[in-house]
Amino acid sequence: MKLYLKPGKEKSILHYHPWVFKNSIQRMEENPEKGDIVEVLDFHGNFLAKGYYHPSSQIAIRILEWSKPINIDEHWWAEKIGQALERRKNLSERFQTNALRYVFGEADFLPGLIVDQYGEFLVLQALTAGIERVKPLVSEILMSLCKPKGIYERGDADVRALEGLPIQNGTLAGENPPDEIEISENGKSFLVNVKEGQKTGFFLDQRENRRIVSEYTSGKDVLDCFCYTGGFSIYALKAGANSVVSVDSSRSALDFLEKNKKINHLSESSHQSVEADAFQILRNYRDQGSKFDVIVIDPPKFAPTKASLDKALRAYKDINLLAMKLLNPEGILASFSCSGGATLEDFKKVIGWAGKDAKKEVQIIRVLSQAEDHPVRVSYPESEYLKGLVCRVR
Ligand code: SAH
């Protein structure tokens, strides 16, 4: 099936961007259906690429292949998935982990497909109708290449609605995973609930950042805000923090944190879990005069898109301003933004505003990004989303 673009709209494809917007299409020879493979041609009829189609999504085509003679068949899918696995071959060893993102969608040349490993199980997310259609084939390929005990589908990501896909969680192949899977990472252990946890169960993208931030925590009083199941907290305790306070609004996340403390043989005395709204509790700490040496701020996405940017930047500023006021002199603020809509420059600006209003001098001492199994594909800037700044505040 052939699809012709309006004049000039071929540019982004020639630069290997994997999306074609609906309004770039001039005409179609037939009426392709959801998930059909189409050939994309420029206005003059020159071949550009092949991809899968969606009739009503704003992103009408996601490009899979730039070479005309190659067919998008089961061999193609097996090869592309195999290559994504191959690229991660030494990561388990380097990060002492059995939990990795195996496939990171567009950034791994497999638009709409997410595959995460949690020990002997895989978790799959089909974010588009194109992937929904090949889900059985993809599961079969993963079973044969990775030999997991089972593959569990997390079909509850918001973006599925944009493609007209229902919420759908359940086992796709092999065994049903247990409610708690124990994973290890850089010598630490974590229990993960892949069925109900956030995202696919764990924030794998912060793996390296947890290790880096823990380097500042030995002997220190640490506050871990938006702690989820205690990623940064467990690392800090293991690194010999004097005390750690972990704040999250989710009771179930904190229950997992408590279990994670146990399986890492950490003592109760130096740690406290607090179920609260982070904005509120930071104000309370400010009013009480509480102080910390290291504060981690790792909030959920405030700006999923560019449109929500202004409001989000204000929220980032507020939370970082509050955190800065709670730091002892020369304290460390490790602050993150996982908003795709905000750039590193935006985020630096926010930290600048917060410093100014808090009347603090701020030095950025480390600039952090997403873990290596979440690559940034340069032709697809949308794949860069996680930004972190380790700052010294005086
Ligand atoms: N740092 C964590 C990941 C944090 S994800 C790790 O390394 O694993 C963001 C967390 O923020 C989620 O656990 C969510 O429950 C929590 N959260 C969202 N809004 C919140 C709020 N207003 N106050 C406190 N926690 C909040």
Three-class SS string for 289-352? Answer: CCCEEEEEECCCCCCCCHHHHHHHHHHHHHHHHHHHHCEEEEEEEEEEECCCCCCHHHHHHHHH
Ligand 1 nearest atom to the CA of residue 336, by list position: 1
Over the stretch 221-276, which tens digit does the pLDDT of each residue have?
999 999 999 999 999 999 999 999 999 999 999 999 999 999 999 988 899 999 99
**pLDDT at position 137, please?**
98
Ligand 1 pocket test, pick from 192, 204, 228 with the greatest ligand atom count within 8 Å of Cβ, gives 228
Ligand 1, atom 12, residue with closest C-alpha: 228
Which residues make beta-bridge pairs with 183? 190
Report all structural domains of the chain as residue ranges with CATH numbers, in order of start. Answer: 2-65 (2.30.130.10), 74-174 (3.30.750.80), 203-393 (3.40.50.150)
CA distance 297 to 287: 19
Residue pair 246/224 in contact by the 8 Å Cβ criterion: yes
pTM of the model: 0.97
* Å from CA of 225 to ligand 1 middle: 7
Cα–Cα distance measured from residue 338 to residue 318, given in angstroms and rounded to the nearest whole number: 16
**Which residue, 291, 298, 372, is CA-closest to 334?**
298
Cα angle 88, 93, 94; round to 5: 85
C-alpha to C-alpha distance for 234 and 226, rounded to whole angstroms = 13
Token pair recorded at residue 318:
């507020």
Residue 138: per-residue pLDDT: 98
User: Among 146, 225, 227, 338, which one carries the catalytic annotation?
Assistant: 338
Q: Which of 206, 227, 235, 274 to mutate to test the pocket of ligand 1 (most atoms within 8 A of CB)?
A: 227
The pair of structure tokens assigned to 105 is 């969608």
Atom of ligand 1 at shortest range from CA of 300:
9
The CA 144 to ligand 1 mean position distance, Å, reads 36
Instruction: Give the integer Cα–Cα distance in Å for 299 and 347.
Output: 13
Assess contact for 191 and 182: CB atoms under 8 A.
Answer: yes
Confidence (pLDDT) at 352: 98
Sign of the CA dihedral with 294 first, then 300, 304, and 310 last: negative
Task: List the residue whose alpha carbon is closest to atom 15 of ligand 1.
Answer: 250
- Give me the pLDDT at residue 303, please: 78
- Closest protein CA for atom 16 of ligand 1: 226
Sheet holding 19-21, edge to edge: 19-21, 59-65, 47-53, 37-41, 2-5, 25-28
Compute the distance from residue 208 Cα to the ligand 1 centre, in Å. 18
Residues with Cβ within 8 Å of 10's Cβ and at least 6 positions away in sequence, in order, are: 42, 43, 48
- Identify the residues whose C-beta falls under 6 Å from ligand 1: 198, 203, 206, 210, 226-229, 231-232, 247-250, 253, 277-279, 298-300
Distance (Å, rounded) from C-alpha 120 to C-alpha 218?
A: 33
Our answer to whether residue 338 is catalytic in this structure is yes
For 124-151, letters b (16+ CB in 10 Å) and e give bbbbbbbbbbbbeebbbbbbeebebbbb
Residue whose CA lies nearest to ligand 1 atom number 18: 300
What is the crossing angle of helices 74-87 and 129-146, to 10°? 60
Contact 108, 122 (CB under 8 A): no
Which ligand 1 atom is nearest residue 206's CA? Answer: 7
Q: How far is the CA of 250 from the centre of ligand 1 (A)?
A: 8
Reduced to 3 states (helix: H, G, I; strand: E, B; else coil), residue 64 is strand
Ligand 1 nearest-atom number relative to CA 296: 1
pLDDT for 182: 98
Residues of the chain with pLDDT under 70: none
Q: Whose CA is nearest to atom 3 of ligand 1?
A: 228
Cα of first residue to Cα of last residue in the chain, in angstroms, is 62
pLDDT of residue 208: 98
What is the whole-number distance in angstroms between the Cα of residue 316 and the centre of ligand 1? 13
Cα of 330 from ligand 1 centre, angstroms = 26
Distance from residue 154's CA to the centre of ligand 1 (Å): 19
Q: What is the pLDDT of residue 8?
A: 97
